[in-house]
């Protein structure tokens, strides 16, 4: 998959160091509530590779098309916020790549890609309220806030805002 500046591709075991760097960016560890050790990163790569095989969805590595340098991860995700299964959009940037429009570019592209599928009429994002950068991306793209829910992650309740973008 390609956006204007980025190539999005499935994760491989060779992406370990890039994914570890992205997942241990300060804003990521703040939002997720922990740092990501080697086993966490290997598990992340494996789960997302399996999701791509099973569902055709999951996080991908986003690389600058000109330099090949990883800038983050993004993907369509199967989610459930308590009102049934939905298609979500996820995006995670390396801290040094923030503020360059990459997250907006990835999310916009993925929404368009999802809406090419006849069975998808809306996409969703779940974002921690303190993740102001991701909230700003959702709002900038016109994704409306429709509610909130508590996700249990590692046995810790974490409040998330729910955003929805409907197919035009």
Q: Can you give the pLDDT at residue 12?
A: 96
Q: Do residues 8 and 62 touch, judged by C-beta distance below 8 A?
A: yes
Q: How far apart are the first and last CA of the chain?
A: 22
pLDDT in tens, 80-136: 888 889 999 999 999 999 999 999 999 999 999 999 999 999 999 999 999 999 999
What CATH number should be reported for the domain holding residue 25?
3.40.630.30
Does 94 reside within a domain? yes
User: What is the distance between the alpha carbons of residues 6 and 115, in angstroms, rounded to a whole number?
Assistant: 20
CB atoms inside a 10 Å sphere around CB 150: 11
The domain containing residue 36 runs over which residues?
6-166
Does 110 reside within a domain? yes
In total, how many domains does the chain have? 1
Q: Can you give the pLDDT at residue 56?
A: 87
């Amino acid at each position: 998959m390609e956006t204007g500046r980025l190539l999005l591709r499935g994760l491989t075991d060779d992406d370990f160091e890039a994914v570890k760097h992205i997942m241990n960016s300060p804003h990521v560890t703040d939002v997720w509530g922990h740092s990501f050790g080697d086993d966490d990163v290997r598990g992340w790569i494996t789960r997302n590779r399996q999701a791509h095989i099973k569902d055709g969805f999951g996080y991908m590595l986003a690389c600058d098309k000109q330099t090949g340098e990883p800038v983050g991860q993004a993907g369509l995700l199967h989610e459930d916020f308590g009102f049934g299964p939905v298609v979500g959009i996820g995006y995670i940037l390396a801290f040094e790549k923030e503020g360059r429009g990459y997250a907006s570019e990835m999310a916009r592209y993925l929404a368009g890609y999802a809406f090419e599928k006849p069975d998808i009429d809306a996409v969703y994002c779940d974002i921690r309220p303190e993740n102001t950068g991701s909230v700003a991306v959702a709002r900038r793209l016109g994704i409306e806030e429709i509610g909130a829910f508590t996700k249990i992650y590692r046995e810790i309740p974490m409040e998330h805002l729910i955003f929805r973008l409907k197919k035009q």
